[in-house]
Amino acid sequence: MLTVGQALEGSARRYGNKAALIFGDHTVSYREVDERSNRMAQTFLSLGLQKGDRVGLLLPNGLSMAEAYFALAKSGLVGVPLNLRWQPGEIVYAVGNAEVSMLLADRDLAPMLNPVAGSMPVYYTGGYPEDSSRDWEARTRQASLTAPLVPINEDDPWVIVYTSGTTGRPKGAVRSHYSNLIIALSLVSELGITQEDVGFAILPMFHVNSMWFVTLSLAVGATCVIYPHRTFHPQHVIQEMNRHHVTYSMFVPTLLTFLADAVEQGKIDPRDLRVMMTSSAPLDATLRDRLLTGFPGVALYDVYGASEYGAATIIRHQLGGRLGSVGFPVIGQEVRILSEDRTPVAAETVGEVYVRGPSLMTEYWKDAESTKKALTDDGFLTVGDMGYVTDAGILYLVDRKKDMIIVSGENVYPTEVENVLLSHPAVGMAAVVGISDERRGERVVAMVVLREGKELDVEELMARCRRELADYKRPLAIDVVSELPLGPTSKVVRRLARDLWQKNHP
């Protein structure tokens, strides 16, 4: 039986007083995490919640968020992590759609819950002097240290994760205990993580990447450091990595640039870090080689996946190696490329990416139509990515299907154009979007953010595009901007980038 609560209990028996979680100046052992999550689980149940009920989590990174995930697992409840960047209307939608029975929130975030606070019980971490009955810590201190006797199966839902919602309303991906633990165990096997390692959960814990990262770390007996600052700053990341001698972490490419700068400037010891994972956006060759040169002992992996998939494929980057692939399927996963009518296409032919394996979501919550559209009859799932597989079985992503730009009947995949822009040494970030055009249907435009201290001749960048891209793929205009809209994983949100362009070009 593979349940998240059992995984923690097993690690607590094996590793006892070893440091499990570190958050700022607070360190808790495996035994303490197990006992604290038991108290929380007992508290949830004492409030009348029953197995299968949904609990909304509006919590920043911290011990409470990590322990809440495990407490929900032990009590048979289903967590609904809420994005701290959401506007009130988005929270109202997710809470209503998931039919949440109770909310657990940080007291500083209470104003965000004003639209829903009167419709369900809300309890607060960090103390709540306005109403002591809503003080979560006060309640949990009185609860039992023993695990609740709730029968939990590995196929039971553990979390409902709402997708980014870049088109239309977000959808809730229902994920079971088993599917989440399989992600952790398969990555442990692929990456060689052991109880001797120190991991660093950097990304927001309402996001699946950090949720899986914490689960992975505690399932194998490693120590997991949680990023302790509410405002993200790369320098804080470097400080925490130095302080705790971090050996593995998941990074987005924008953060990897700061790591490359830091090691070149002597601000970080390259001997500690041995496993780097990246996802969400492709690496460029220059950045990859800077990292592998600056951290000569590191294994740099690209992991492709989604909230609905888990980890689908993985590749280890090599100095000077070929870029573009996201690698071979992770252990237990299968990848197929299908046409519009869901028939297999030949090798090297672009189609829609489908994945089948033990880490897939169960369904989209309360959305049978979307579930049916995403899943084939034999259990392959798509999230709309376009790509192709070589004869050797290696997956190459072309782009998100919904981000594709159509110029005079020709398909343009933004990532391909962005890679050319990012190959310029002055460009740190890029966003390519399609803008309505009467003659072409759409036209390609781009925005770039410069690396610190760099200058750019836009005409020179346009010339580079003319050299490396077919005429219909070239941006007709490039803007230099101070920042681009980012999602919770620091990936550019193209929908918002398009809005930014239109605002700048009324």
What is the location of CATH 3.30.300.30 in the chain? 404-504
Q: Which residue has the tokens 């039971």?
A: 156
Q: What whole-number distance in Å separates Cα of residue 41 and Cα of residue 232?
A: 30
**Residue range(s) of every CATH 3.40.50.980 domain in the chain:** 32-175
- Write out the residue limits of the CATH 3.40.50.12780 domain(s) in the chain: 233-401
430 dihedral zone (left: phi>0; alpha: psi -120 to 50; beta): beta
390 to 42, 171, 210: CA distances (angstroms): 51, 32, 31
Answer whether 240's CB lies under 8 Å from 269's CB: no
CATH of domain 233-401: 3.40.50.12780
Cα 182 to Cα 110, 251, 276, 333, 429, distances in angstroms: 35, 21, 20, 11, 33
What percentage of the chain's residues is helix, strand, coil (to nearest 5)? Answer: 35, 25, 40
pLDDT per residue as tens, the chain (506 positions)? 789 999 999 999 999 999 999 999 999 999 999 999 999 999 999 999 999 999 999 999 999 999 999 999 999 999 999 988 787 888 999 999 999 999 999 999 999 998 998 889 999 999 888 888 899 999 999 999 999 999 999 999 999 999 854 445 789 999 999 999 999 899 999 999 999 999 999 988 998 888 999 999 999 999 999 999 888 788 999 999 999 999 999 987 778 888 999 999 999 999 999 999 998 666 788 889 999 999 999 999 999 998 999 999 999 999 988 888 999 999 999 999 999 999 999 999 999 999 999 999 999 999 999 999 999 999 999 999 999 999 999 999 887 777 888 887 777 888 889 989 999 999 999 999 999 886 678 999 999 999 989 999 999 999 999 988 888 899 999 999 999 998 877 788 888 999 999 999 98
Report the predicted TM-score, pTM, of the whole model to 2 decimal places: 0.85
CA quadruple 489, 495, 501, 502: dihedral sign? negative
- What's the topology of domain 404-504? GMP Synthetase; Chain A, domain 3 (3.30.300)
| Strand 395-400 versus strand 385-389 pairing type | antiparallel
**Predicted pLDDT of residue 167:** 45
For residue 436, how far is the Cα from the chain centroid?
Answer: 31
Cα separation, 182 vs 310, whole angstroms: 9
Residue 122: other Cβ atoms inside 10 A: 20
Total residue count of the chain as it appears in this document: 506
DSSP 411-469: EE-HHHHHHHHHTSTTEEEEEEEEEEETTTEEEEEEEEEEPTT----HHHHHHHHHHHS
Crossing angle of helices 30-46 and 4-15, in 10° steps, is: 140
Other beta carbons less than 10 A from residue 346's beta carbon: 10
Contacts of 377 (CB under 8 A, 6+ apart): none
Domain 32-175, what architecture?
Answer: 3-Layer(aba) Sandwich (3.40)
Cβ within 8 Å of residue 133, ≥6 positions away: none
Strand 351-356 to 385-389 pairing: antiparallel
Which tokens go with 14? Answer: 């094996």
